[in-house]
Structure 1
């Protein structure tokens, strides 16, 4: 056992203070920070980074919590109660353009939306005409994307009967109980309902890859769907080197998650409300990345411009300024 005398302790603190000048800024241990994310696959990367200590140098003692709904998340960010949060990429741009000092650190998924159904013939939007489609989070990412796809398909907005659900599990229940013909879900909910159906002696099929449908008219193979946003207060707390350290930690976490999905997802299971095996099984269809915001900027602006063609207010009326892209 090593016994620290007062003299040794003070000497050690002096060394730490000097060496810290060139190291990432850290938050004091008593200032526990929470990183928030949706009940979706990208949050598994964050949960793993925290559980394995990859963020110990920049956010010692940090914890991860899942937000319940986009409305709850936006209100908490606007009130200063969420300083580090994974959110829809357009949502971060909207908040920025409405005057909130928030920026995007990265993109963590290039698209994880799928339409699933018991009817394996519903493989096109046209075949969904007159059918009912459950989707969570009205006026948010799934709703905005499907609305634009319907428009691009030359269909009237009411061609598909939308049944809005408060949460992904509610949309899953609507599908499994036969109250809707199909459901638009993100991962891991899409994988989860397919596996859940098997346990109930039913078949649910992944009938439409939303990313592929988007690419047909946008010319881009990816939807830069969600990323980690930081408020100015959070950036100031961890400092510029801490912001860089956070990104490096997430890049490392992504490598580990993809290399050993089942082990890594144990970190996220409780927070996301899915068994580890379902989260792990969803990774191949989650298009997980850890792309720095500046590198993703061309894809982000292309995505924002497409959304704004329908309603400029979706992104706050304009493309976000240079300061929006933190790294």
Structure 2
């Protein structure tokens, strides 16, 4: 029989648990300086998950992102999907919760250089050497039989804003940009009297070059400590929050752009306009497994080390 003392102790324990949850630091969702962060901003604005408050921050470079994962300071982070596979295969325990975009890379340039083959003889600014934008572009160039250094010149820069500056200054013919940087470049070009277009839609070019139906470019990955703390129910709640965020973003892109503009350091109208060309989704990783496997195989065709040596096993897919 349960006596009053046991009831009192149980009540004290329950209060202690609730107090600990309320007092625990916010769960930070880290995102890139790109459109998937619009979804994170929406999810955070909507409230908590399992009584846990949420925070949203932007990592500014792949080096910062990798350091955050390696050091354990980024427990929930949007990354290029191949980066998640690489960390998982190397024993870091990073698992992919979902896919948040099926392709938001564009080569922005003048109207006379449309299509991958139209880049022949051009100088293209490329942010982040040997990372997702560069890897995708190099695969597309290889499929088009264009060799960097011979048929096309790639100028590597440290950030998308640097690539935009080179393009607007006329020092390069085109720039490889993700959204919303692509939309920002086109808008700024128009204001300066320079017509710029999305000369290459990398998602469509990828589909043509590889025969793939989609391009699962980036998604939210979680570290073991956070996954264990949330448990299956918590991971489901996090996925549900992002699915709801996607619905709100699609219903009102202008408002969504405003909510994420400060973090992305771009005007709200630019961010809102970019949503239509960002191919945002909230697909469970397991549902996208076939597409992810094909994407990884194509990216790592010449160097399996890109994905950590081989295809990740079933444990990689958190949901």
TM-score exceeds 0.5: yes
Give the alignment partner of residue 193 of structure 1, picking from 185, 192, 205: 185
Which residue number in structure 2 is paired with residue 126 of structure 1? 117
Is 1:142 the counterpart of 2:136? The answer is no
Aligned length: 309
Task: Report if aligned partners of 1:110, 1:287 keep a CA contact under 8 Å in 2.
Answer: yes
Is 1:39 the counterpart of 2:30? The answer is no
Q: Partner of 2:78: helix, strand, or coil?
A: strand
Q: List runs of 5+ in structure 1 lacking aligned partners.
A: 1-9
Which residue number in structure 1 is paired with residue 4 of structure 2? none
Task: Report if aligned partners of 2:116, 2:205 keep a CA contact under 8 Å in 1.
Answer: no
* CA drift at 1:319: 0.5
Mapping of residues 156-171 of structure 1, within 5 Å: 156-158=147-149, 159-171=151-163
1:172-210 deviations in whole A, cap 9, x for unaligned? Answer: 001000110000100000011111122222211111111
Q: Partner of 2:216: helix, strand, or coil?
A: coil
Q: List runs of 5+ in structure 2 lacking aligned partners.
A: 1-6
How far apart in 2 are the matches of 1:234 and 1:313? 27
* CA drift at 1:79: 1.1
Q: Partner of 2:79: helix, strand, or coil?
A: strand
Task: Report if aligned partners of 2:106, 2:177 keep a CA contact under 8 Å in 1.
Answer: yes
Which residue number in structure 2 is paired with residue 270 of structure 1? 262
Which residue number in structure 2 is paired with residue 84 of structure 1? 76
How far apart in 1 are the matches of 2:304 and 2:148? 18
Which residue number in structure 1 is paired with residue 289 of structure 2? 297
How far apart in 2 are the matches of 1:175 and 1:109? 25
Which residue number in structure 1 is paired with residue 105 of structure 2? 113
How far apart in 2 are the matches of 1:265 and 1:249? 18
Q: Partner of 1:71: helix, strand, or coil?
A: helix
1:259-288 deviations in whole A, cap 9, x for unaligned? Answer: 011112222111111112111111111000
Mapping of residues 95-106 of structure 1, within 5 Å: 95-106=87-98
Q: Partner of 1:108: helix, strand, or coil?
A: strand
Structure 1 residues 252 and 29: alpha-carbon distance in aligned structure 2, compared to 1, 3 A threshold: farther
Q: Partner of 2:299: helix, strand, or coil?
A: helix
How far apart in 2 are the matches of 1:280 and 1:82? 27
Mapping of residues 183-222 of structure 1, within 5 Å: 183-222=175-214
How far apart in 1 are the matches of 2:96 and 2:38? 18
Q: Partner of 2:99: helix, strand, or coil?
A: strand
Which residue number in structure 1 is paired with residue 3 of structure 2? none
How far apart in 2 are the matches of 1:161 and 1:96? 34
Structure 1 residues 234 and 157: alpha-carbon distance in aligned structure 2, compared to 1, 3 A threshold: same
Q: Partner of 2:195: helix, strand, or coil?
A: coil
Which residue number in structure 1 is paired with residue 317 of structure 2? 325
* CA drift at 1:58: 3.1
How far apart in 2 are the matches of 1:92 and 1:146? 20
Structure 1 residues 155 and 223: alpha-carbon distance in aligned structure 2, compared to 1, 3 A threshold: same
Give the alignment partner of residue 45 of structure 2, picking from 51, 64, 74: 51
Q: Partner of 1:294: helix, strand, or coil?
A: coil
Q: Which runs of 4+ in 1 moved over 4 A?
A: 13-18
Root-mean-square deviation over aligned CA pairs: 2.2
Task: Report if aligned partners of 1:109, 1:225 keep a CA contact under 8 Å in 2.
Answer: yes
Is 1:282 the counterpart of 2:274? The answer is yes
1:153-173 deviations in whole A, cap 9, x for unaligned? Answer: 122232210011111111100
How far apart in 1 are the matches of 2:294 and 2:213? 12
